[in-house]
Amino acid sequence: MKPDKINSPDWFEIEVDGKSMKARSGQTIAEVLISNAKLTFRKTRNNASRGVYCNMGICYECRMIVNGRPNVRTCITPAFPGCEVKTQRDADLQVPGSEPEKD
For 8-39, write each residue's pLDDT tens digit: 679 999 999 999 999 999 999 999 999 999 99
Domain ranges of the chain: 3-85
Mean pLDDT to the nearest integer, 3-9:
60
Q: Are strands 42-43 and 88-89 parallel, antiparallel or unpaired?
A: parallel
Tell me which of 3.90.1150.10, 3.10.20.440, 1.10.3720.10, 3.40.720.10 is the CATH number of domain 3-85.
Answer: 3.10.20.440
pLDDT tens by residue, 82-100: 999 999 999 999 766 555 5
Contact 13, 22 (CB under 8 A): yes
Contact 83, 14 (CB under 8 A): yes
Query: By C-alpha distance, which of 46, 41, 79 is closest to 61?
Result: 41
pLDDT in the model for residue 35: 95
